[in-house]
Amino acid sequence: MELTFSLAQIDQAARQFWEQAGQSRVFAFYAPMGTGKTTFIVALCRALGVVTPGSSPSFALVNEYQLPSGAPVYHADLYRIESEAEAREAGIEELLHSGAICLVEWPEKAPGIFPPGTVHVSLEILPGAGDVKHAASITHQEPGTRYLRTFTVAS
């Protein structure tokens, strides 16, 4: 899958993302600070119909939102996590294996806690002209692993 969109089109891109996500439940978002992980995750939550999607859970580690059905959606930010052991102690691994939709920023802080089938999403800012654009693609790197690469073209 490949998506190209401006920030004005982010909600449409989020809907397309979910159309392509299939039955995947865990999504790991990789990007440098300030690239737009939280912005894209909030758009993904809106596309799901989440009631009051919030901001980055940097200080709380995890925000729990609700789908219209009442099912939870977890948004985790592992930026302040120092190790996989700390992530496990905080209950992050349990959430990732709960069957709920989990959207995780900074997964590289605890890579060993993610279940098979996790979709890895990479965001970058690319040099370019015009509006800020994102391009996204999903490829299958190995059985049970999906990668979505999202790019931002700076104006």
Q: For residue range 96-109, what is the model confidence (pLDDT) as tens digits?
A: 999 999 999 999 99
User: Whole-angstrom Cα distance, residue 74 to residue 142?
Assistant: 26
Q: 142 pLDDT band (50/70/90 cuts)?
A: very low
From 92, 64, 95, select the one nearest 78 (Cα to Cα).
92
Rounded Cα gap, residues 16 and 155, in angstroms: 24
pLDDT in tens, 9-67: 889 989 988 988 888 999 998 888 887 788 889 999 999 999 776 666 666 799 999 99
Contacts of 127 (CB under 8 A, 6+ apart): 153, 154
Percent of the chain whose predicted confidence (pLDDT) is above 70: 71
pTM for this structure? 0.83
Cα–Cα nearest to 40, from 2, 7, 77, 65: 7
* CATH ID of 2-154, from 3.40.50.150, 3.90.1580.10, 3.40.50.300, 3.40.1260.10: 3.40.50.300
